[in-house]
Structure 1
Amino acid sequence: MRPSLRSRGFTLVELLIGAAVGAVVLLGISLTFISQARQYQAHASRRAIQANARQALAFVGRIVRTAGYGVNPDRAVLAYDSYDVASDSAAPGFPDAVVVHWRDPLFRRPVQSANSTQLTLPATQPLSEPLRQGQILLVLCPLARNHAFVTVATYRNEGEFTIPLDSTLPAAAPNSPIHGPGRLFHEQDKLDSDTCFSAPGAQVVKVRRAAFYVATFDSDGDPATPEKTPYLMMNQGLDMPTDTQVQGDTVIDENDSVPVAEGIEQFQVAYLLNSNNDNPPLIRGVNESPMLPPTYYGEQWERIDPVTLGANWFFDPSIRFTDARRTADHPANLRQVRLTVVARSTVADPDIRGDNLLTATEGAPLPDGTVPWRQLENLGTPGSPDFTPSGGHFYRVLLRESITSKNLMMNAQFPPVSFLSSTPVGGG
């Protein structure tokens, strides 16, 4: 006789033990997955902010390298310390702004006649592309023996050959990164004082402008969540087209700016100036207080009296490199521009306090009071929390680059190629 076979299941205790073991395993897998996801998100945030910082520094650096091409050295690079775009003024703790000017090598036109209100081109060689309000033009006498920087007053379309000039007096011109060109580009009165601007061989070329500053914008448009994201912005000083108007709204302001890089929380500018007698280069983090000397706020940076030395003194061949004036605080003596950017993550991570890039001053200040080793240049007491590189549950990265623009060594104005050859006149 065969023994009977009876099936036997799991007891309640065995089921409970199995369920507990399975729960522990699933919990471990879940925690591992969550940890890996957080690490991935952290690394992704680090990579993103490094990419944003590199993008910002590369874009600005490429333009700074062109600074001064065909432009007088005193107006090639203009820095605005601690610039608050909301008030269009200096405010402690805000990022810096910098404005760069250079000549457009692809634009040149002969001038038939010129006066303080209008340039007239030959009817046979009108504009082939529009000129916008705020466009800077450089008018050159034959062989560039004299020159004048002027500004276009109103939009001019292709096919036109008269260019109205902005009649704003230099003293009334704006000194701002987000508005039209300043006093250094309102030399229209020169056109009345020298007949060479209307002589055969006179030419007009275009000068490009790029102003970089930091501004914040609502990240999601929801008023219930007022978090703001900082962006590095660029303003060309031109009245850009609107949704409804090709010619623009006739006002040059922050609405004419475009974003360059996301998450740029701080932007600091420093100058490296000439030196002689084996002295170390003078490093200037543009001063935070525009009310205290020396002043480095945009076009106000002129430590050498231009009236005493005369116009365009830096073109004077008698002022040699060893001359003490070549080491004074003046834009014509600038040899490098040092840029520092801080990029932060656009989304806060509640699991971290946030990186802190506000470090104490390292080393002793130089005799002039400058501390060149400070990681954030001249950034003093932080102002707005939107631009304070500390805490806030954000990841951050800092990048710095010193840029040499060979064009700042220019010692005379020069005519475009068409002056000296049979090359056809080109450009707009």
Structure 2
Amino acid sequence: MPPRPAVRGVTLVELLIAMAVSSLVLVAMVGIVTSQQQAYADGHRVRAAQASARNALLFLEQKLPLAGYGMAPSLALDLDRYTSGPCPAQLQVSGACKRDRTDDSDELVFYARNPSYWLQPSGTGMAGRTWSVTSSGITATHLHLNARAGDTFLKGQILQAVCEGASQYVYVTVAARAPASAPVAVDGPLQIELEAVDSANPFKRQDAAGDECFRSGAARVFLIDRYRLHVRPVAVGDRVDPFLVLDRGVDSVGTGGAVTEADEEFVAEGIESMQVAYVLANGKVVGATSGTGITFNAGFPGAPGTTDTLTQLVFPGPAPAPDESVYSPTSWYRYTMGPPADPERLTDHQANVRAVRIAIVARSPEPDFTRQSSPPMLRLNQSAPAAWVGDADAKDGYQRVAFEATIPLPNMLSQGMVYF
């Protein structure tokens, strides 16, 4: 019987080779998993930035087309008048925020009649954000209207009173919350205190409500919404988080004093920059040339051949005719669109803005200093990053995205005040 062969074991060399191969496989697997996790984290940061930018643009695409609804085209945009809103310290220039910046974010201010109202075909009933003026009319200090249960008028709100036929109308601004403590309990007359008359401010002209039509009982009051959109950097620990916020110019928290950042509404997080350019009826785009700020000139009716210039509204302008409103000479209603268009419709006046071009730069909510970051992005006429954002070459750990949209303003084509 032949002897059985000896069982052969594993040599030390074979064992070392097997361990080395296994280690390489494990290292590769760990590397793949780590890379996938990091790619997911990077993608998540990019998606978060994209979501913030989309939220900002969605809000603008919903609200901006309302600009000028129920108003004259010349009053739809505000290029210089509303300056009392809260201004972040990081964005201040000589103590104030600016509409246009080449080294920081712009801000956008516009107005529109609040569309949340309903009128019965008979004209006697109304609901929502519209009311009727009582026979006491409008005085230098007060507006008298028929309020409904639940109504509250806030300090800073703008109200538009329109006579039947819409030949006469005025704007006034609420000076104090009305009623002072609780909302209106039952339907009935309400007296609203008004801010003092300012002949140069189109929204404080109750002195122009002397016509008998304002005391006939047929005049209607509509709410005018103010939209001021700007970036607000907020200190969070050792970093700054930027937000796009909405300032309505009203004392919504009820402090009774000036409008503060506590009255602002959150729109989107992570918005580092909002750049604004204006598309004119003559085809020119104002505010899209890198490094060139917009030149604002007050005048009438503007010039057709300028570049990166906007002519601001001069109010009240020439004296109105006896049967006209104080707003008529500067309303732009009298200038036709043609064809051919009146020359006044083809100038750089703010009443001739037909669309607004918006560029939004958003960043991820949280930085990751272990990964490559994207530098600050510059769009339209911005040529340098904001000082509070940091150096364009700094590795700050944020992922950034930039979205742009051109939003038309259909109400800039209106050619008459509406009573409905």
TM-score bucket of the superposed structures, by smaller chain: 0.7 to 0.9
Change over 3 Å in CA distance of 1:329–1:145 after alignment to 2: same
Unaligned runs of 5+ in 1: 173-182, 242-246, 276-280, 359-375, 417-428
Change over 3 Å in CA distance of 1:388–1:54 after alignment to 2: farther
Q: 2:205 aligns with which of 177, 184, 187?
A: 187
Q: 1:266 aligns with which of 259, 265, 273?
A: 273
Aligned partner of 1:215 in structure 2 is 232
Residue 239 of structure 1 and its aligned partner are, at CA, apart by 1.2
Task: Give 1:158's aligned amino acid.
Answer: V
Q: Where does 1:109-124 land on structure 2 (aligned, <5 Å)?
A: 109-112=131-134, 113=136, 114-122=138-146
SS in 2 for 1:266: strand
Mapped to 1, the partners of 2:393 and 2:281 lie a distance apart of 34
Residue 335 of structure 1 and its aligned partner are, at CA, apart by 0.8
SS in 1 for 2:230: strand
Q: 1:137 aligns with which of 155, 159, 169?
A: 159
TM-score, length-scaled by structure 1 = 0.75
Number of aligned positions between the proteins: 367
Aligned partner of 1:235 in structure 2 is 247
Residue 121 of structure 1 and its aligned partner are, at CA, apart by 2.4
Task: Give 1:201's aligned amino acid.
Answer: A
Residue 14 of structure 1 and its aligned partner are, at CA, apart by 4.2
Aligned partner of 1:61 in structure 2 is 61
Residue 120 of structure 1 and its aligned partner are, at CA, apart by 1.7
Kept in 2, the 8 Å contact 1:265–1:387? The answer is no
Q: Where does 1:302-381 land on structure 2 (aligned, <5 Å)?
A: 302=312, 307-308=317-318, 311-313=327-329, 315=331, 318-321=334-337, 322-350=341-369, 351-355=371-375, 357-358=377-378, 376-381=379-384
Q: 2:97 aligns with which of 73, 89, 100?
A: 89
2:195 is the alignment partner of 1:167: yes
Unaligned runs of 5+ in 2: 118-128, 300-309, 321-326
Change over 3 Å in CA distance of 1:316–1:340 after alignment to 2: closer
Q: Once the two structures are superposed, what CA deviation does each residue of 1:32-81 show, in whole Å capped at 9, x if it has no partner?
A: 11111121122222222222111111111110011111122122123579
Residue 84 of structure 1 and its aligned partner are, at CA, apart by 5.8
Kept in 1, the 8 Å contact 2:278–2:356? The answer is yes
Change over 3 Å in CA distance of 1:324–1:153 after alignment to 2: same
Task: Give 2:184's aligned amino acid.
Answer: E
Kept in 2, the 8 Å contact 1:355–1:393? The answer is no
Kept in 1, the 8 Å contact 2:287–2:294? The answer is no
Mapped to 2, the partners of 1:76 and 1:26 lie a distance apart of 65
Task: Give 2:247's aligned amino acid.
Answer: N
Kept in 2, the 8 Å contact 1:344–1:394? The answer is yes
Q: RMSD between aligned alpha carbons?
A: 3.2
Mapped to 2, the partners of 1:389 and 1:195 lie a distance apart of 62
Change over 3 Å in CA distance of 1:302–1:399 after alignment to 2: same
Residue 269 of structure 1 and its aligned partner are, at CA, apart by 0.8
Task: Give 2:145's aligned amino acid.
Answer: L
Task: Give 2:107's aligned amino acid.
Answer: A
Residue 231 of structure 1 and its aligned partner are, at CA, apart by 1.1
SS in 1 for 2:221: strand
Residue 304 of structure 1 and its aligned partner are, at CA, apart by 6.2
Aligned partner of 2:307 in structure 1 is none
Mapped to 1, the partners of 2:207 and 2:288 lie a distance apart of 32
Aligned partner of 2:285 in structure 1 is 283
Residue 7 of structure 1 and its aligned partner are, at CA, apart by 6.8
Mapped to 1, the partners of 2:266 and 2:88 lie a distance apart of 14
TM-score, length-scaled by structure 2 = 0.77
Task: Give 1:97's aligned amino acid.
Answer: E
SS in 2 for 1:18: helix
Kept in 2, the 8 Å contact 1:274–1:335? The answer is yes
Aligned partner of 1:108 in structure 2 is 130
Task: Give 2:234's aligned amino acid.
Answer: F
Mapped to 1, the partners of 2:334 and 2:248 lie a distance apart of 36
Aligned partner of 1:405 in structure 2 is 409
Residue 377 of structure 1 and its aligned partner are, at CA, apart by 1.8
Mapped to 1, the partners of 2:190 and 2:46 lie a distance apart of 53
Mapped to 2, the partners of 1:18 and 1:32 lie a distance apart of 21
Task: Give 1:161's aligned amino acid.
Answer: P
Aligned partner of 2:150 in structure 1 is 128
Aligned partner of 2:184 in structure 1 is 158
Kept in 2, the 8 Å contact 1:314–1:411? The answer is no
Residue 4 of structure 1 and its aligned partner are, at CA, apart by 7.4
SS in 2 for 1:170: coil
Task: Give 1:93's aligned amino acid.
Answer: D
Q: Once the two structures are superposed, what CA deviation does each residue of 1:287-320 show, in whole Å capped at 9, x if it has no partner?
A: 9888955479xxx952667524864335566533
Residue 89 of structure 1 and its aligned partner are, at CA, apart by 2.3
Task: Give 1:132's aligned amino acid.
Answer: L
Kept in 2, the 8 Å contact 1:152–1:163? The answer is no
Tell me the percent identity. 28
Mapped to 2, the partners of 1:139 and 1:303 lie a distance apart of 21
Aligned partner of 2:419 in structure 1 is 415
Mapped to 1, the partners of 2:77 and 2:383 lie a distance apart of 23
Kept in 1, the 8 Å contact 2:287–2:293? The answer is no
